Structure 1
């Protein structure tokens, strides 16, 4: 199965930074999925009340990542200001979620995995944000 990079390479609106856009989009979709799974795993714990902040943070991060992936993957006539604002919001959501999940990582392996995905997504968003030209 070909990925989003193959689509970008055939898109009539060739982006100036296709590898950065591909990395960001891929990281956002991955982080989105892992945050949903992490929140679900938290809900399965006996002491779920101790994980309410983690659940909320994961769900917020998942939503931010999904919106970011969708906005960044649209290459035709993007609004640079909107893309920049979305990337900044996503990077911040990922930073906050990673910190929260890291607080639980010693007890819950799924939180460690989620935190790692959040850190990767944060880095990918910041890399695209600081790329030569957003779109």
Structure 2
């Protein structure tokens, strides 16, 4: 029986010697980390798929840029959140807010391409961006001062 990535992340965080001192609610933290890593991969794949849309490539330049930016920001956010030793909440808050903004911008752009050009890869990317955006917001809402 294999574990999902989310379950494995949770188990890993629970083994951290300072897990009881975390300023985050565990389920919100795990969900946000998981959503960030998923979104990074989906955005990378969507950017690549957009590059393959040769007949629409000129219309997709902004989408490709947003996908690439969002992928990098989500990956970095996930990596920052998984570190539990002596977190600097002001830095984490700013990073999660940045991730939320990147996911919103990318999700909005991909949604337009999904609706106007019936691009299924953009539809899936918009869904992943929304999930990550919501997970970031939930984590921000629950952050202690």
* 3-state SS of 1:38 partner: helix
Q: How does 1:53-64 map to 2 (within 5 A)?
A: 53-64=62-73
Larger mean Cα displacement after TM superposition, 85-94 or 16-25: 16-25
Where structure 2 has 5 or more consecutive residues not aligned to the other structure, the ranges are none
> Over aligned residues, Cα RMSD in angstroms?
1.2
The match for 2:104 is 95
**Structure 1 residue 41: deviation in Å?**
0.1
Name the SS of the counterpart of 1:105 in structure 2: helix
Which of 117, 120, 127 pairs up with 2:131?
120
Match of 2:120 in 1: 109
Asked if the contact 1:17–1:133 (Cα under 8 Å) also holds between the matched residues in 2, the reply is no
Instruction: Provide structure 1 residue ranges, at least 5 long, that are not aligned to the other structure.
Output: none
Deviations 1:20-49 (A, max 9, x none): 110000000000000000000000012211
| TM-score normalised by structure 1 residue count | 0.95
Aligned residue-pair number: 134
The counterpart of 1:77, out of the listed 86, 101, 106, is 86
- Residue 29 (1) aligns with residue 37 (2): yes
Mapped partners of 1:133, 1:45: distance in 2: 45
Contact residue 54 and residue 97 of structure 1 kept, 8 A: yes
Tell me how far 1:117 sits from its aligned partner: 0.3
The structure richer in helix per residue is 2
Q: What CA distance in whole angstroms lies between the structure 2 residues aligned with 1:58 and 1:91?
A: 13
Separation in structure 2 between the aligned mates of residue 98 and residue 132 of structure 1, nearest angstrom: 24
Aligned-residue offset at 1:94: 0.2
Query: Distance in 1 between the 2:86 and 2:28 partners?
Result: 18
- Distance apart, 1:132 and its partner CA: 4.5
For 1:10, the equivalent position in structure 2 comes to: 15
1:45 lines up with 2:53 in the alignment? yes
